[in-house]
Each structure stands twice: as C-alpha cells, then as structure tokens.
Amino acid sequence: MRMPQVVRQPGLPQRVTIYEVGPRDGLQNESTILPVGVKAEFVSRLVDAGLQAIEVTSFVRPSWVPQLADAEELIKAVDLGAVPRMPVLVPNRRGLERALEAGVREIAIFGSATETFAKRNLNSSLDDQFDMFEPVVAEALGAGLRVRAYLSMSFGDPWEGDVPVEQVVSVGRRLLRLGCSELSLGDTIGVGTPGQVAAVIGGFLGSGVDVGELAVHFHDTFGQALSNALTALRLGVTTFDASAGGLGGCPYAESATGNLATEDLVWQLSGLGIETGVDLESLVATTIWMSDKLGKRPESRVATVLS
C-alpha cells in the first residue's frame, strides 16, 4: 500500500496514542443499528490493525441510544485484555454498576464545558454535573479503574456560540481534580481552528495541567481536524481521539459531520515518522469493511484514495 514519505520534524514525540472511538462515538451516531457480531468483529479488526486504545461501547440507558443497546453482550464478545486500554463510556452510577459487572478496567465520563449542553445532554447545570460525576469517579477509582473525562463543547457550542477559554480550563480542571487521569478536549461540533486549539491547550498548560493529561477530540465539520491535531501535537499532546472511517457525528449538534478519521491521522503521523502501532493497510481494510456494513461510502480521504 502507498505510504507517505517520512520527513521528521524536530520537537515532535516519537510515538503517540490513537484513542479509537469508532465502536462507541462512531456507531452511536450512525443511523444503522448493527448486529452485535459485526460490532465485535469491528473491535477485533481494530485490535488486529494495531490500535492500542479502543472505546468499545457505552453503558447509557439502552432506550436512549438504541445503537448501543447491546453493550453487555458486546463486552462479553470482545477480549477486554487484547490491548492496553479498552474503556467504556459511563453516563451515571447505574452505568458504572453495569461496567463493573461486565469487568471493564477503564471508564470514560462525558462532561460539558457549557451550561446549555449540560442542560440538554445531562439534564443538569454546569455545576450540578459534578454532583453526578463525583460519586461515579470515586467509586470507579476505588474499584481500581482508570477514568478518562471528555469535555464536550470545548471549542464552541451550537447554542451559546464561542466558549471562553477560561471557562473550558476551569471546568476541565475540575474534572481532573475528581481523579480523572485523562481529559479529552472535544470539539463536538467541529468549529475549532488552530489558533483556538493553541489558546485552549495553552490555557490548561498555563494553569499547571500536565500536557500528558490532555487528549484532543476533533471533528472535521469545517475541514480543520487534521490542522487542529497537528497544532496539538506541536504543543506536546500525545493522545488523539479518532474514528475509523470518520464514523459518527453528534446527535446534539446537527451540523456536525464525523470525527477525525483514524486513517487520515495515521497518514499524517506516518509522514512525520511518528509511531502509532497502527498498520494503515489493515485499518483501511477495516474502514471499507465497516462502510459496507453500514451501506455507505467511507468518508475519509485516505480510505477513498486507497480503496
């Protein structure tokens, strides 16, 4: 398979982690509901492609997200020890109970940087979301689990518009203080641009947050996802959320197109000589296979060119 010429740039990390969100964030936002066997095969193909962190599903109430209603069944069908990280999203205490019962070793919680999204997504206020997270994170940590936190609307909100950097940093730091070991800054509607990414990440670093605690989650709505990822990379971020084939969007932000496509990110990182552990050919084959199951064409540039 064709690969980019490798030209390294000084100051960049040798290796980064791609946090694959296709099975959860991707499939959650696709209208087609797939059989559990297909999802399990998706996860195992991603493992075979070399992804080291794969968010498998969500223990949200099944009636809320019918696409992921088979979470327990799926967890049973995948090998949770196949890669270092195989987290599940947990929206509340009930979700945590289900996750613990299923034997997962890492959970992710989903916070909001804005008042309006907290209200719409969590039916909570910006402050009150912490009352919900606090016991969940404490119990998860007590059980020896690792906890990642998403901070959605970190770069803009469809109802509120611009979100002040200070607000994003303040809410994000509160999530870290709960005991979360990773904070994923989400450009949920894909409106961020590189200067803004630099400002938000700079805000966190300036407030004493270690860059190793930050991950970034970009959407390609306005074609900025890779530029934003490169900006974060240059600032020292080493964990990047991405979705095979660019699957998914956001049900609360109708304008949002898919996540940054994993294969597009891998192409860029490969050209920079940065290791990800991912085999591009195997990943592209997985994307094409999954697109076929969903009855659509792959959205990513790399899969379109290389298929």
Residues in contact with Mg ion by the rule CB under 5 A: 25, 259
Q: Is 250 a catalytic residue?
A: yes
Kindly state the tokens that stand for 307: 């298929």
Q: How far is the CB of 3 from Mg ion (least distance, A)?
A: 27
Q: How far is the CB of 8 from Mg ion (least distance, A)?
A: 29
Q: How far is the CB of 197 from Mg ion (least distance, A)?
A: 15
Instruction: Determine the residue type at 213.
Output: E
Nearer to Mg ion, 110 or 133 (CB): 110
Nearer to Mg ion, 203 or 246 (CB): 246
Nearer to Mg ion, 25 or 299 (CB): 25
Contact in structure between 26 and 299 (CB atoms under 8 Å): no
Compute CA distances 179 → 95, 101, 133, 141, 145, whole Å. Answer: 18, 21, 11, 8, 11
User: At 239, is the secondary structure helix, strand, or coil?
Assistant: strand
* The 182-186 sheet, strands edge to edge: 53-54, 17-20, 239-242, 214-217, 182-186, 146-152, 106-112, 88-89
Q: How far is the CB of 77 from Mg ion (least distance, A)?
A: 24
Compute CA distances 227 → 135, 199, 230, 276, 299, whole Å. Answer: 37, 14, 5, 18, 18
Compute CA distances 287 → 9, 218, 292, whole Å. Answer: 29, 18, 8
CA 242/CA 265 separation, integer angstroms: 8
Q: How far is the CB of 17 from Mg ion (least distance, A)?
A: 17
Nearer to Mg ion, 26 or 95 (CB): 26
Nearer to Mg ion, 230 or 253 (CB): 253
CA 150/CA 178 separation, integer angstroms: 13
Please choose, from the candidates 13, 88, 15, 76, the residue with its C-alpha nearest in 3D space to the C-alpha of residue 50: 15
Nearer to Mg ion, 25 or 70 (CB): 25
Q: How far is the CB of 58 from Mg ion (least distance, A)?
A: 12
CA 212/CA 215 separation, integer angstroms: 8
Which residue out of 53, 104, 122, 250 is catalytically annotated? 250
The backbone torsions φ and ψ at residue 298, rounded to the nearest 5 degrees and listed phi first, read -60, 140
CA 83/CA 12 separation, integer angstroms: 25
Nearer to Mg ion, 25 or 106 (CB): 25
Q: Which residues of 156-194 are buried (b: 16+ CB within 10 A; e: fewer)?
A: bbbeeeebebebbbebbbbbbebbbebbbbbbbbbbbee
Q: Hey, which residues are catalytic here?
A: 250
